[in-house]
Amino acid sequence: NSNQLFPHFWYRYFTLFLTFLFYTAYHLSRKPISIVKSQLHRNCSTVIRPADLNITNNDTWCDWKPFDQDNYQTLFGVLDNCFLVAYAIGMFISGIFGERLPLRYYLSVGMLMSGLFTALFGLGFYWNIHSLGYYAFIQVMNGLMQTTGWPAVVACVGNWFGKGKRGFIMGVWNSHTSVGNILGSLIAGVFVSTAWGMSFIVPGLIIASTGILCFFFLVEKPEDVNCSPPQHHVSYIRNMICLKLSITRLLDLTPVCLYFHDVLYPTQGVVEFSLCLLFAKLVSYTFLYWLPLYISNIAHFDAKQAGDMSTLFDAGGIVGGIMAGLVSDYTGGRATTCFIMLVAAAPMLFVYNSIGQRSLATTIGMLLLCGGLVNGPYALITTAVSADLGTHESLRGNSRALSTVTAIIDGTGSIGAALGPLLAGLISPTGWNNVFYMLISADVLACLFLFRLVYKEAQGWCGRARG
């Protein structure tokens, strides 16, 4: 009996550790492109040219074709969006597969294939490939493979943990996003100035290795090892059946469920949090893909220094995600916590762009603060909020529905993740100020979509106070 060898407690936290490790590897393999950008197109006047190179154009000799052109920022935007658009589209499909396939196999194959395509991007350096189409294709395939990660790991954690202190637990757990970004930046930075291909190959090998680890050690749900599942809610299977029928007939708007009122709240919550995440993720992913280049251009750091400095944004995100989880657990106001952090983030983005590069101390402080305020709501929505909605009483009896709800929320957010870097690539030639105005506008829109839920939470607090 496996319960005699390993108590339920150890299974729970071993699963938490493994899924943390897995999604750290996913993000670790996404980060190198943002570090390598400033190496593919750089200020060659500061580089000593080898005397044996017979090159007449001193401005572009050290760039990597085809990114030696004046529209290099647009080309970088194309690469970003090949990944992110594929990721956004694939995420909606991924939730469906995540419901029907064993999550252990699904995650293992996803990580192995993601490792392959990440490494293939880096091999372009050694194979001397200068085709935009090659790198774009690799990005598309990698984007599709990466969609295997999020719905599956959230479903695994949701299977093992009840509601309790979910905000805090998932706030800590969700730091894998920032930890992966930091490690990806540091690993890519080691190789970026000498052989940038290794900035992709090493992360590719790491995520492939975690795929093998997943295959042998992941326990998908408590029932697999004779443990009792967490009690999310006391509810009725009929509500789950009604929601399934409602979703099936959603396109022709046919009312098929007498109990649709029972699932109205979670449905509305999914819509509003999804739209909020769209704009919150737009801001977060613009920083993910463009912050090192921004620091390099504005503060005039080299590629490695800019990459190392950008990790402070992710370090702030770790603290912000944990604080968001703690506060939302204590108050019971997930939407209100996100709303307040987003409201505070908008002026901080303006301040960072205005004075953030005046001194090293100012840069460090502003990056930490902006990272916490931007990534805190993003982390809370993609983890605790998704798990709350995915294990709502109307879904009781179908634990795998969590995978679909998570995919819907994160898939909608991924549309914003695709739009942000694309807009940054188009706008940045007109000036970085305009990029930040775009980010601030997106932040305000994210707040507006939460307003009704914030109002409902405030009503609930007032009602309890009067009672």
In a domain, 59, yes or no: no
Q: Identify the CATH number of the domain in which residue 137 sits.
A: 1.20.1250.20
What are the CA-CA distances from residue 180 to residues 28, 32, 346 (Å)? Answer: 4, 11, 25
DSSP one-letter string for 254-295:
----TTHHHHHHHHHHHHHHHHHHHHHHHHHHHHHHHHHHHH
- The two three-digit tokens of residue 326, written as one number: 């703690």
pLDDT at 239: 35
Q: Write down the residue that tokens 């819907």 correspond to.
A: 408
- Residue 49: inside a domain: no
Residue 411: its pLDDT value, please?
77
In a domain, 51, yes or no: no
Report yes or no on 53 lying in a domain: no
Instruction: Give the single-character DSSP code of 245.
Output: H
Q: What is the residue whose two structure tokens read 């190959």?
A: 201
Instruction: Tally Cβ neighbours within 10 Å of residue 114.
Output: 29
Q: Measuring CA to CA, which residue among 181, 143, 417 is closest to residue 316? A: 181
What's 385-442 look like in SS3? HHHHHHCCHHHCCCCCHHHHHHHHHHHHHHHHHHHHHHHHHHHHHHCHHHHHHHHHHH
Q: Rounded distance, CA 295 to CA 313, Å?
A: 12
The predicted structure's pLDDT at residue 130: 92
pLDDT per 10-residue tile (average), the chain, 467 residues: 58 90 95 88 60 51 80 87 88 74 92 97 94 95 92 81 64 86 92 92 97 93 76 38 34 34 48 89 90 85 84 92 87 89 95 87 92 90 70 51 68 85 88 94 93 87 75
Question: Amino acid identity, residue 343?
Answer: V
**Amino acid (one-letter) located at 172:** V
pLDDT at position 246 is 36
Instruction: Note whether residue 198 is domain-resident.
Output: yes
For residue 243, tell me if it sits in a domain. yes
Cβ pair 218, 107 in contact under 8 A: yes
Q: Where are the alpha helices (DSSP H) in 41-128?
A: 72-100, 103-126
What is the domain extent for residue 382? 2-44+65-466
pLDDT of amino acid 241: 30
Residue 272 in domain:
yes
Q: What is the pLDDT of residues 94-137, one digit of tens each?
A: 767 766 788 899 999 999 999 999 999 999 999 999 999 999 99
Residue 7: predicted pLDDT: 65
Please give the torsion angle defined by the CA atoms of residues 252, 256, 261 and 266, in that order, rounded to the nearest 10 degrees. -60
CB 354 within 8 A of CB 340: no
Nearest to 238, CA basis, from 253, 259, 267 = 259
Specify if 137 maps to a domain. yes
Q: What is the pTM of this model?
A: 0.75
Nearest by Cα to 189 from 36, 330, 337: 36
The number of folded domains in the chain is 1
